[in-house]
């Protein structure tokens, strides 16, 4: 009798998941540095954007959010990020479902254009 963990397919999927998590963890610093760089660039250009103070304020807010996200990515590994996402989804199922649907729609549009 096979146990659920002795299934070769689930073992392979688990191995692939672990390898993917390791690869993502190995690139976290580079991703965070890229987000910091984008935030710095946005801060530098925000006051020159057309649309006045409101647009500049939104741009600075977005840049601040990117800086916060960069810090989060640096401080958390994939396992803790997934745990955070699971908690958010569990605590807010409606908005999580709407967000997933919107992302799915955007991804579908992106790939259907190619």
pLDDT in tens, 45-77: 999 999 899 999 999 999 999 999 999 999 999
Between 56 and 23, residue with greater pLDDT = 56
**Is residue 97 predicted with pLDDT exceeding 90?**
yes
Task: Provide the CA 8 distance to its chain's centre, in angstroms.
Answer: 30
H/E element, 51: none
DSSP 8-state class, residue 4: G
Distance CA 75, CA 28 (A): 9
Banded pLDDT at 1 (limits 50, 70, 90): very low
Predicted TM-score (pTM) of this structure: 0.65
- Cα-Cα-Cα-Cα dihedral sign, residues 50, 31, 74, 15: positive
Percent of the chain with pLDDT over 90: 61
């Amino acid at each position: 009798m096979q146990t659920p963990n002795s299934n070769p397919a689930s073992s392979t999927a688990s191995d692939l998941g672990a390898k993917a998590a390791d690869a993502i963890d190995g690139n976290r610093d580079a991703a965070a540095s890229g987000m910091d760089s984008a935030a710095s660039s946005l801060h530098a250009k925000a006051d020159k954007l057309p649309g006045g103070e409101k647009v500049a304020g939104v741009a600075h807010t977005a840049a601040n959010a990117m800086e916060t996200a960069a810090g989060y990515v640096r401080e958390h590994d994939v396992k803790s990020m997934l745990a955070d996402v699971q908690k958010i989804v569990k605590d807010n199922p409606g908005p999580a479902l709407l967000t997933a649907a919107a992302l799915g729609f955007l991804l579908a549009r992106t790939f259907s254009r190619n």
